[in-house]
Amino acid sequence: MPTITDVTVQDIRVPTSDELLGSDPFHKKPDYSAVLTTITSSSGKRGISVVFTCGAGNDWVAYAIDQLVPLVKNTTLDSFIEDPGELYQTILNHHQLRWLGDGVFRMAMGGMINAMWDLWAKEVKKPMWKLLVDLPPETVVGCIDWRHLEDALSRQEALAILEKSQSKKSAFEERLKETGVKAYSTAGWLGLTDRKILEKINELKANGFDAFKLKVGQDIKFDKARIQFIREAIGPDVKLMLDANQFWGVDEAITYMKELADFEITWIEEPTARDDVMGFKKISEALNPLGLKLAAGEQIQSPVIFKQMISSGAIQFAQIDACRMGGVNDVMAVILLA
């Protein structure tokens, strides 16, 4: 019965602003940074999680995670394994911290929760994805806070989805091992020159990438020229996605994207404010008939907002960030909702 003997929290900064890597209309000079949480057990195993930031405020997240250490230290890993929803509920419903709402609090929660899941995976010598797919459906459902979700998906419906998928699980695992997980690259950072973007695209294409993303939003003439340039570089059969990082108002997003509809765009990501469900819905209704779909999620902080986005048809692609929300438990909820 391993006991949690130590929890360390590190504030790690990377000066990516030197070369404008990660730049977009709002985040012009980000320093990609992370809070690294390490949970050590009496068996010597270490569970690790990473919470991402753009630099400033990384210390806020580190401090917040550090405040959660007393809820974990000296507890047993077996208690987490027996009920992985208990620690989640303990943090989420903390009688004082809950008042802070989402944001840094939920990011800190995700950092601690994910490190515990990672520790469990290492104790049983499985990659985390394998640990998760091996969980009984009842355990998965028990990990989720259903209080504000059951109007869209009930526990019983979620359980039925999971039980139905059991017969296909082995085939899916074999396919996953054979082909891996589909990925794209954001080659078109706003601050990079066309030459640098082309160099990165050619490098990634040589490694098998066939999907790329471009930052847009500040100037329609500039964006049209760059999209045309990138489309010619990647070819007509390669997926191209756009990301506005919430730069536009609702009507502005509709007008702007109508001018880009002919470039065969797979999705426009975050065309407006991250939690404006009505705004996203209006944009979707205007752009979907043109073949343009909406994506969001990297700044959606809870399954409740995802519930609204998905059930209303406001988004067509759910981009779950496991360290923006409350960790693996919240991810399970969103996957089932989607």
Expressed as residue numbers, the domain containing 11 is: 4-134
Mean pLDDT of 311-318: 98
Last-in-domain residue among 110, 134, 158: 134
Q: What was the pLDDT predicted at 20?
A: 66
CA–CA dist 104, 63 (Å, integer) = 10
Q: How many domains does the chain have?
A: 2
Residues 193 and 315 in one domain: yes
**Each residue of 84-110: pLDDT tens digit?**
999 999 999 999 999 999 999 999 999
Beta pairing, strands 33-41 & 4-13: antiparallel
CATH number at residue 289: 3.20.20.120
Residues 184 and 129 in one domain: no
Last-in-domain residue among 104, 134, 164: 134
Residues 105 and 203 in one domain: no
Residues 238 and 310 in one domain: yes
Residues 108 and 212 in one domain: no
CA–CA dist 94, 273 (Å, integer) = 28
User: 38 CB contacts (<8 Å, ≥6 apart)?
Assistant: 6, 7, 8, 9, 10, 46, 47, 48, 115
State the DSSP H helix or E strand holding residue 161, giving kind and residue range, or none if neither: helix 155-165
Residues 230 and 109 in one domain: no
**Each residue of 3-50: pLDDT tens digit?**
999 999 999 998 877 676 666 666 767 888 999 999 999 999 999 999
- If one counts every other C-beta atom within 10 angstroms of the C-beta of residue 90, the result is 13
User: In terms of C-beta density within 10 A (0-12 exposed, 13-18 middle, 19 or more buried), how is residue 174 classed?
Assistant: exposed
pTM of the model: 0.93
* Number of helical (H) and strand (E) elements in the chain, helices listed first: 14, 9
**Each residue of 111-125: pLDDT tens digit?**
999 999 999 999 999
In a domain, residue 251? The reply is yes
CATH number at residue 105: 3.30.390.10
Residues 115 and 217 in one domain: no
To 5 degrees, how large is the angle CA 317–CA 205–CA 179?
A: 60
